[in-house]
């Protein structure tokens, strides 16, 4: 449905250095996909979104929706932003304060150039949009009298009122407080599935991305470093960066000691000589320096001498700090030269200084590069 | 779900001009507005340059090229003296206005002094008063038969004057008082925007009020103060009313009066006037460049603590009453005394000093003449129409130009430069230039109100630009982007989104230009024909023709009217957050 | 028969060649009323004489508005010349002692021989029809009667050089025969070139104060007490003010400077018939009487001034007369001398 290929836009700051922008971003989206661009600030996710919207002009690349080309640098095609027929929700919501809610939402219908919408139809569509976002009856309210959450819904209603083929959302939840955010997250996802519109969602919050998306593109320094479904991203991070960015990760540096086939399990020698079994999604060569990632929640922690270890991988260490987080306890454990973070149950809190043994299955340890 | 390998389409984007033109409505509009601005702002500059290096015959046709005018400037003793006088005059009045306005601003904005409303009142009323009225009132107050010298004579019994107003000291004093309200406004805005944390940290560390002022507040505010000083200096260089009415009788000439004199002799010495003007324009342009640099520095010291956080006022303790006294004194000097003087003048058939003996001669005859006989009603209507027309034209043009410039649209910087070009012209030079341009252009507007309106539009375009520019910057960019993505073209966005939200800035700019257009004499003195008079010129003429009583009566009525409008302006400013000059 | 016809034809021809001739018949009045307005650039004082003349004309010829504008001669000249350059003439008539000279050079003056001036002496009207005197000015030294005791009042020009007047003599900035240039010419005429220049140098040393305003304002300053003396003020202004109670008087410091105030019509005037009608009115008995009633000195010898003392014959004083021809030849020289000496 949406095809983006080779999208490049480079910003030069005033020291003539390249700062920010995107390089060679490509993805194809089937219709109805909820697609998230995820990454830290400056990674290029917003730039990519704005290029698709037409707010920025890429230096090179190709963008097409269905069979309609929006941008093609090779042929000099660049459809202006107001002719792309896309719906967009801005980070600040951009609700026009001098209009009512109805007028805000009706705006795209009023300025539409491809066809004229008669008054009754406008009213019908706007009322439908209001109902969809759960603001039925709010039409006459002045825009200045809306809460943050309500503004966001109005922005969404405005973006979908003209039944666009593509919906763009630029960090729409970042201005809401925590509890509202969770609620809106589910709400947005439900709405998107109900309407069935292809959506691109930009966020820096990885839990949001994991919860809402069909497809995630993790971006770093202007490039997509991994593109895949949430589970794949989480359990099989393609690089240290992805591993560390999505969820918490412990990174262990070691060396691969024997050849491993792609997707297979093999030994990894750690710096202090200990060996653990590790999953190699793309295989391993002898002698190659490898980093492995273990999620804190996948490590079982028990005091030394609490029984024989049953896990395939066992490491011994000393607790250097423990924090009670309510539902869990977070431990910082020193294992040789490594500092590992481990999540344990909250019923027993092991104090700092306790000797512990850590156990984890090979599938929980993923080689990331 | 994999990266597409469509390699053939990865060539860098080409942008053809025609495509850009078709696709970007803003570019077309920018070009149109640019043409309007160029037609307005460039010819005066060109004419001045041309006149300064050519000779003309009695009817004004060009007869040849010459550097004689500039040579005269450098060799003529009088010309060099005028340049010196100009610098002394401008510097002196800048310092005086900074001291008086600055102290007042600090007292009002940062301390708990009483009577603050007097300071605002003085500022509002002076906003509506033509400069020339002030000057005339001060000429009387400080003049040979004014109360100052009279009192001196009574006290000491001498027949001399304590103070000769027709001196450089007199000029500096009156001009300084003229600028004091403006300095008060602008420095007040600076002090209001200051970061209270810095000062409170100093107080917590044990510093007294004076120490804090000297070591913390002043150094922090210094860039703003310097920028303001430069601004006032630039305006004072172009000052005309004071040098014409106060300096010329004392045979003290500055550049503006030299230009004026050269233009009104028969036949007019336009080459000489133009060469003077070119020199002045060059000086002002250079100073403006430094002003721009200073302003950018000054902004760094503004805090961004957000709205609603006002610094706590200093408690002056018993010193409150001294401060209140100073404020009241300023009110009397800047406002009350001149107004009372004008009242006195308006009630007398011929001018004489304050004395009980004159009381039986008081009469309302001047007011009757102003209201019933004479052309004063038509004159007031002329002035109001011209000012309103000019203000409207400026705000319309700058609404578009300022929006494009503030959003860094195509040609934005050029539009900004064109619109602010006229800042380099002192008023009298612009008057000469506009007169010359429209004497040669076959448009029949010389001697009508149109030429004055055009001169106003040229002169006040930069101010409109500032208001719109800062107004646009306060609007979130995404409001316009949302409209664009929703399907609106550039002009639709401007019309439906930007313009309504920009209304406070537009109204403030309109009122400001409306008020200030009527204050200046220099811009209209050469352009007003007998059937196209405006206020400042009419007052000047009346003064020169000895109709002092009538002009005082009319001046007071006009000031009252303008004060009402000035109140509207200040109310509008309070609603927005920009200060007087759109900063 | 033929000779008579020839004579008539010749007369008509001569009259036609001499330019438009006067006729205050109903035709002119009708034509003027059709135009409805006459624009007058004057050097006279508005509330002393301009308004009365305008009002008198408007009541005699209803439907014709008199729009006037007061400025110095050079300002009026400049405006008329600029208007002509811009091809937008607005002025119909102008007056002034010296305003005529540069405009005549620039060919901006129309010819007209007013019928009302038929009986005027020849020195008060132009054979070419470009000007007619409407009133006469006598420029005198004035003093404040409160500040200057009778014994100290200067009687001759030499008395003005007394050290006690240093810095206390005012005069106008108007570079016309009614201002410093006229004073200079007067001195040079009565004392001759050498003694005259010597006198002028000493006068410069007296630091006379130039007021950037008309003679009327200079006199007002004397009345207000700012200066005790002023030279080159109009003697009738002093009389008008004294009648209102002002402490001022004028001195018969002989010879006074006599300058006729010349009235002319602008070439290509927008309202030519109204202009002619107005000229006719001002020069007629009615107009001249208005002048006399307002304490001005009418040019028409048949209309006496209200105060005989103001005119040389009845007031017993001599004058130096400055004619337009004197101006044409001499004014630039006197102005140059002024700049050299005083600026």
Distance (Å, whole) CA A368 – CA C300: 118
For an interface test with B, give the residue of A96, A125, A216 to mutate (most B CBs within 10 A): A96
Q: Are B482 and A90 in contact (CB < 8 Å)?
A: yes
B548 at interface of C, judged by CB pairs closer than 8 A: yes
Nearest to C67 among B143, B446, B531 (CB): B531
A9 at interface of B, judged by CB pairs closer than 8 A: no
Distance (Å, whole) CA C162 – CA A258: 124
Per-residue pLDDT at B7: 35
Q: Are A80 and B23 in contact (CB < 8 Å)?
A: yes
Contacts of C87 in chain B (CB under 8 A): 442, 444
For C14-35, what is each residue's pLDDT tens digit?
A: 554 444 444 578 899 999 999 9
B488 at interface of A, judged by CB pairs closer than 8 A: yes
- Angle, helix A148-160 to helix A178-195, in steps of 10 degrees: 20
Half-sphere exposure of residue A244: CA atoms within 13 angstroms, side-chain side: 9
The token duo for C76 is 């009026």
pLDDT band at B10 (very low <50, low <70, confident <90, very high): very low
Distance (Å, whole) CA B271 – CA B70: 9
Contacts of C216 in chain B (CB under 8 A): 545-546
Phi, psi of C182, rounded to the nearest 5 degrees: -65, -40
CA A197 to mean position of chain CA atoms: 18
Integer distance in angstroms from the first to the last C-alpha of chain C?
Answer: 69
Short-list B328, B334, B324, CA closest to B125: B334
3-state secondary structure C195-255: HHHHHHHHHHHCCCEEECCCHHHHHHHHHHCCCCEEEEEEHHHHHHHHHCCCCEEEECCCC
Per-residue pLDDT at A303: 86
Question: A61 by DSSP, 3-state: which?
Answer: strand
Q: Degrees (nearest 5) of the Cα angle A79, A199, A126?
A: 85
- Residue A368 and residue A291 in contact, taking contact as beta carbons nearer than 8 Å: yes
pLDDT band at B582 (very low <50, low <70, confident <90, very high): very low
B248: distance to nearest CA of chain C, Å? Answer: 7
Average pLDDT, chain B: 83
Q: Model's pTM, two decimal places?
A: 0.81
Contacts of B170 in chain C (CB under 8 A): none
**Beta carbons within 8 Å of A134's beta carbon, 6+ residues apart:** A153, A187
**For residue B577, pLDDT beyond 60:** no
**Chains in contact with A, counting 3 or more C-beta pairs less than 8 Å apart as contact:** B
C86 at interface of B, judged by CB pairs closer than 8 A: yes
Across B303-312, B339-348, C264-273, the highest mean pLDDT is recorded for C264-273
Contacts of C83 in chain B (CB under 8 A): 446-447, 529
Per-residue pLDDT at B568: 85
**Beta carbons within 8 Å of B264's beta carbon, 6+ residues apart:** B526, C74, C75, C78
Per-residue pLDDT at B240: 92
Average pLDDT, chain C: 88
The ipTM is 0.80
B100: distance to nearest CA of chain C, Å? Answer: 30
Contacts of C67 in chain B (CB under 8 A): 530-531
B351: distance to nearest CA of chain C, Å? Answer: 6
Distance (Å, whole) CA A33 – CA A197: 7
> Is the peptide bond prior to B267 cis by the omega test (within 30 degrees of 0)?
yes
**Beta carbons within 8 Å of B236's beta carbon, 6+ residues apart:** B89, B90, B93, B94, B175, B179
* Chain C residue with the nearest C-alpha to that of B350: C220
Distance (Å, whole) CA C172 – CA B388: 37
Distance (Å, whole) CA B251 – CA C341: 13
Per-residue pLDDT at B68: 85
For C172-231, what is each residue's pLDDT tens digit?
A: 988 888 899 999 999 999 999 999 999 999 999 998 988 878 888 899 889 988 899 999
Size of the A and B interface in Cβ pairs below 8 Å:
129
The token duo for A132 is 């969809």
Interface of A with B in 138-197 (CB under 8 A): 155, 158, 162, 168
Question: C308 by DSSP, 3-state: which?
Answer: helix
B572 at interface of A, judged by CB pairs closer than 8 A: no
Per-residue pLDDT at B14: 43
For an interface test with A, give the residue of B487, B489, B493 to mutate (most A CBs within 10 A): B487
Distance (Å, whole) CA A261 – CA B260: 95
Distance (Å, whole) CA A320 – CA A207: 28
**Percentages helix, strand, coil for chain A, rounded to the nearest 5?**
25, 35, 35
Who has greater pLDDT, B211 or B34?
Answer: B34
Short-list B502, B392, B411, CA closest to B32: B411
Nearest to C90 among B435, B530, B543 (CB): B530
Nearest to B249 among C41, C47, C210 (CB): C210
Token look-up 């990519």 returns: A48
Who has greater pLDDT, B533 or C283?
Answer: C283
* Chain C residue with the nearest C-alpha to that of B60: C85
pLDDT band at B304 (very low <50, low <70, confident <90, very high): very low
Touching, C vs A (3+ Cβ pairs under 8 A): no
Per-residue pLDDT at B256: 92
B9 at interface of A, judged by CB pairs closer than 8 A: yes
Question: A91 by DSSP, 3-state: which?
Answer: coil
**Chains in contact with B, counting 3 or more C-beta pairs less than 8 Å apart as contact:** A, C
State the average pLDDT over residues B565-577: 77
Q: Are A112 and B487 in contact (CB < 8 Å)?
A: yes
State the average pLDDT over residues C259-278: 94
State the average pLDDT over residues B6-18: 41
- Residue C323 and residue C160 in contact, taking contact as beta carbons nearer than 8 Å: no
B351 at interface of C, judged by CB pairs closer than 8 A: yes
Question: C177 by DSSP, 3-state: which?
Answer: coil
**Chains in contact with C, counting 3 or more C-beta pairs less than 8 Å apart as contact:** B
Size of the B and C interface in Cβ pairs below 8 Å:
126
A28 at interface of B, judged by CB pairs closer than 8 A: yes
* Chain B residue with the nearest C-alpha to that of C38: B531
Phi, psi of A96, rounded to the nearest 5 degrees: -75, 120
Task: Kindly report which listed range (A174-188, B20-34, B464-478, C166-180) carries the lowest average pLDDT score.
Answer: B20-34
State the average pLDDT over residues C110-123: 90
B357 at interface of A, judged by CB pairs closer than 8 A: no
**For residue B9, pLDDT beyond 60:** no
Contacts of B19 in chain A (CB under 8 A): 76, 78
Per-residue pLDDT at B23: 58
Per-residue pLDDT at B20: 53
DSSP β-bridge partners for residue A219: A224
- Residue B183 and residue B232 in contact, taking contact as beta carbons nearer than 8 Å: yes
**For residue B303, pLDDT beyond 70:** no
Nearest to A94 among B12, B481, B500 (CB): B481
Which stretches of chain A score pLDDT less than 50? none
Q: Is B374 left (phi over 0), alpha (psi -120 to 50) or beta?
A: left
The token duo for A242 is 């992805």
Distance (Å, whole) CA B257 – CA C89: 28
- Residue A294 and residue A339 in contact, taking contact as beta carbons nearer than 8 Å: no
Per-residue pLDDT at B301: 54
Distance (Å, whole) CA C90 – CA C84: 9
Who has greater pLDDT, A285 or B556?
Answer: B556
Question: B107 by DSSP, 3-state: which?
Answer: helix
What length is written for chain B? Answer: 583
Short-list B557, C176, B10, B354, CA closest to A26: B10
Q: Are B492 and A111 in contact (CB < 8 Å)?
A: yes
State the average pLDDT over residues B363-389: 85
CA C262 to mean position of chain CA atoms: 6
Nearest to A60 among B10, B23, B487 (CB): B10
State the average pLDDT over residues C289-312: 90
Per-residue pLDDT at A83: 86
């Amino acid at each position: 449905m949406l095809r983006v290929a080779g999208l490049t836009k480079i910003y030069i700051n005033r020291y003539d250095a390249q700062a920010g922008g995107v390089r060679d971003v490509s993805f194809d989206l089937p219709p109805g996909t909820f697609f998230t661009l995820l990454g830290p600030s400056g990674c290029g996710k917003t730039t990519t979104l704005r290029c698709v919207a037409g707010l920025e002009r890429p230096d090179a690349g190709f963008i097409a929706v269905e069979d309609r080309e929006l941008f093609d640098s090779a042929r000099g095609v660049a459809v202006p932003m107001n002719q792309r027929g896309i719906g967009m929700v801005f980070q600040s919501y951009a609700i026009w304060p001098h209009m009512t809610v109805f007028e805000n939402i009706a705006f795209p219908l009023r300025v539409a150039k491809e066809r004229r919408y008669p008054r009754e139809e406008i009213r019908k569509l706007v009322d439908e949009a209001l109902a969809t976002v759960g603001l039925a009856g709010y039409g006459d309210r002045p825009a200045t009298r809306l809460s943050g959450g309500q503004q966001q819904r109005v922005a969404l209603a405005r973006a979908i009122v003209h039944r666009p083929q593509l919906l763009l959302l630029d960090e729409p939840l970042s201005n809401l407080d925590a509890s509202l955010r969770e609620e809106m997250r589910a709400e947005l996802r439900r709405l998107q599935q109900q309407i069935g519109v292809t959506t691109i969602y930009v966020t820096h919050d990885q839990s949001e991305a994991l919860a809402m998306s069909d497809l995630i593109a993790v971006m770093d320094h202007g490039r997509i470093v991994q593109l895949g479904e949430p589970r794949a991203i989480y359990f099989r991070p393609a690089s240290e960066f992805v591993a560390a960015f999505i969820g918490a990760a412990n990174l262990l540096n070691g060396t691969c000691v024997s050849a491993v086939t792609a997707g297979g399990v093999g030994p990894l020698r750690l710096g202090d000589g200990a060996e653990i079994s590790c999953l190699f999604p793309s295989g391993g060569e002898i002698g190659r320096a490898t980093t492995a990632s273990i999620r804190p929640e996948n490590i079982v922690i028990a005091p030394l001498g609490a029984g024989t270890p049953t896990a395939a991988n066992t490491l011994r260490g000393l607790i250097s700090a423990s924090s009670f987080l309510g539902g869990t306890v977070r431990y910082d454990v020193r294992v040789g030269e490594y500092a590992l973070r481990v999540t344990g149950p909250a019923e027993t809190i092991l104090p700092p200084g306790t000797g512990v043994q850590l156990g984890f299955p090979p599938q929980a340890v993923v080689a990331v590069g | 779900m994999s990266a597409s390998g469509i390699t053939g389409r990865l060539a860098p984007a080409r942008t053809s001009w025609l495509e850009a033109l078709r696709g970007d409505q803003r570019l077309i509009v920018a070009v149109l507005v640019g043409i309007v601005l160029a037609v307005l702002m460039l010819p005066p500059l060109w004419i001045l340059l041309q006149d300064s290096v050519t000779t003309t015959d009695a009817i004004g046709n060009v007869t040849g090229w010459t550097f004689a005018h500039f040579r005269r400037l450098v060799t003529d003793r009088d010309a060099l003296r005028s340049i010196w006088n100009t610098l002394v005059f401008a510097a002196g009045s800048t310092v005086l206005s900074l001291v008086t306005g600055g102290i007042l601003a600090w007292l009002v904005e940062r301390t708990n002094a009483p009577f603050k409303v007097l300071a605002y009142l003085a500022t509002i009323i002076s906003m509506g008063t033509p400069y020339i009225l002030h000057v005339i009132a001060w000429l009387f107050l400080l003049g040979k038969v004014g109360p100052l010298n009279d009192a001196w004579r009574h006290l000491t019994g001498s027949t001399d004057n304590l103070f000769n107003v027709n001196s450089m000291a007199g000029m500096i004093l009156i001009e300084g008082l003229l600028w004091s309200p403006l300095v008060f406004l602008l420095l007040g805005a600076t002090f209001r925007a200051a970061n209270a944390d810095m000062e409170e940290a100093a107080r917590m560390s044990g510093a007294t009020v004076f120490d804090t002022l000297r070591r913390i507040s002043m150094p922090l505010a210094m860039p703003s103060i310097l920028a303001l000083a430069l601004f006032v200096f630039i305006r004072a260089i172009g000052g005309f009313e004071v040098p014409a009415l106060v300096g010329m009788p004392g045979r003290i000439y500055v550049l503006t009066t030299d230009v004026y004199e050269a233009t009104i002799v028969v036949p007019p010495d336009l080459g000489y006037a133009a060469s003077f003007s070119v020199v002045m324009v060059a000086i002002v342009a250079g100073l403006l460049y430094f002003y721009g640099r200073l302003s950018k520095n000054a902004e760094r010291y503004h805090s961004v603590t957000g709205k609603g956080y006002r610094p706590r006022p200093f408690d002056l303790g018993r010193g409150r009453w001294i401060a209140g006294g100073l404020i009241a004194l300023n009110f009397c000097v800047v406002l009350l005394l001149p107004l009372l003087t004008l009242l006195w003048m308006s009630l007398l058939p011929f001018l004489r000093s304050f004395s009980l003996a004159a009381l039986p001669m008081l009469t309302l005859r001047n007011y009757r003449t102003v209201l019933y006989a004479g052309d004063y009603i038509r004159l007031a209507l002329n002035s109001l129409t011209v000012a309103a027309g000019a203000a409207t034209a400026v705000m319309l043009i700058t609404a578009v130009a300022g929006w494009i410039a503030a959003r860094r649209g195509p040609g934005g910087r050029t539009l900004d430069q064109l619109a602010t070009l006229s800042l380099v012209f002192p008023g009298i030079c612009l008057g000469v230039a506009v007169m010359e341009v429209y004497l040669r252009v076959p448009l029949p507007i010389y001697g009508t109100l149109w030429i004055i309106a055009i001169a106003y539009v040229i002169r006040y375009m930069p101010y409109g630009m500032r208001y719109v520019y800062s107004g646009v910057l306060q609007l979130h960019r995404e409001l316009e982007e949302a409209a664009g993505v929703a399907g609106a073209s550039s002009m639709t966005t401007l019309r439906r989104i930007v313009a309504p939200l920009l209304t406070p800035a537009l109204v403030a700019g309109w009122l400001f230009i409306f008020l200030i257009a009527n204050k200046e004499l220099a811009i209209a003195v050469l352009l007003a024909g007998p059937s196209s008079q405006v206020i400042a010129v009419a007052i000047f003429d009346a003064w020169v023709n000895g109709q002092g009583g009538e002009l005082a009566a009319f001046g007071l009525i006009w000031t009252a009217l303008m004060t009402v409008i000035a109140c509207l302006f200040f109310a509008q400013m309070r609603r927005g957050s920009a200060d007087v000059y759109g900063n | 028969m033929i000779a008579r016809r020839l004579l008539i034809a010749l007369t008509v021809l001569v009259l036609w060649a001499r330019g438009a001739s006067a006729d205050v018949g109903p035709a002119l009045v009708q034509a003027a009323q059709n135009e409805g307005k006459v624009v007058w650039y004057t050097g006279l004082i508005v509330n002393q004489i301009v308004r009365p003349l305008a009002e008198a004309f408007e009541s005699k010829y209803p439907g014709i508005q008199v729009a006037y504008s007061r400025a110095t001669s050079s300002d009026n000249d400049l405006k008329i010349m600029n208007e002509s350059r811009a091809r937008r003439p607005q002025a119909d008539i102008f007056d002034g002692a010296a305003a005529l000279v540069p405009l005549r050079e620039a060919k901006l003056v129309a010819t007209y021989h007013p019928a009302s001036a038929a009986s005027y002496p020849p020195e008060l009207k132009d054979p070419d029809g470009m000007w007619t005197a409407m009133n006469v000015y006598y420029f005198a030294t004035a003093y404040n009667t409160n500040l200057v005791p009778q014994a100290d009042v200067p009687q001759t020009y030499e008395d003005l050089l007394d050290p006690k007047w240093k810095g206390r003599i005012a005069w106008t900035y108007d570079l016309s025969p009614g201002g410093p240039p006229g004073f200079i010419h007067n001195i040079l005429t009565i004392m001759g070139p050498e003694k005259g220049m010597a006198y002028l140098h000493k006068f410069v040393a007296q630091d006379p104060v130039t007021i950037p305003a008309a003679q009327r304002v200079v006199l007002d300053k004397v009345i207000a007490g700012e200066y005790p003396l002023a030279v080159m003020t109009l003697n009738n202004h002093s009389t008008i003010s004294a009648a209102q109670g002002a402490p001022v008087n004028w001195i018969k410091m002989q010879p006074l400077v006599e300058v006729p105030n010349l009235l002319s019509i602008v070439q290509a005037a927008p309202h030519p018939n109204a202009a002619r009608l107005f000229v006719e009115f001002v020069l007629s008995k009615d107009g001249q009487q208005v002048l006399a009633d307002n304490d001005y000195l009418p040019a028409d010898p048949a209309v006496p001034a209200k105060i005989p003392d103001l005119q040389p014959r009845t007031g017993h004083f001599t004058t130096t007369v400055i004619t337009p021809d004197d101006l044409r030849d001499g004014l630039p020289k006197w102005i140059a001398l002024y700049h050299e000496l005083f600026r």
